[in-house]
Amino acid sequence: MPGPDDRSCYNCGDTEGEAHLERCMVCGKWFCPEHSFKQTGRRFCSAGCARDFFWGQTDEDDEGEDDDTTQRDAPER
């Protein structure tokens, strides 16, 4: 069993006894409800982690925008 002592909000330091801590599934930090960032039903420690999570899920292939760099073998002149 993990000791509850090392769990505390990354921001205010509240322990599990003082607040209901949750763990960020992106960076693994613990955070209290006061410092949680909610997005579409999930909770993260920060907006940045929420964005990282959703960007990791959606397979954004930005290679489609780099067409000009891949056509290096076709010189204009």
Return residues touching Zn ion (CB under 5 A).
9, 11-12, 24, 26-27, 29, 32, 34-35, 45, 49
Closest to Zn ion by CB, 5 vs 65, is 5
Alpha-carbon Rg for the chain, nearest whole angstrom, is 20
Write down the least CB distance from residue 14 to Zn ion, Å: 5
Write down the least CB distance from residue 40 to Zn ion, Å: 16
Cα–Cα nearest to 4, from 20, 15, 18, 13: 15
Cα–Cα nearest to 49, from 61, 65, 37: 37
Write down the least CB distance from residue 67 to Zn ion, Å: 35
Closest to Zn ion by CB, 35 vs 51, is 35
Terminal Cα-to-Cα distance of the chain (whole angstroms)? 69
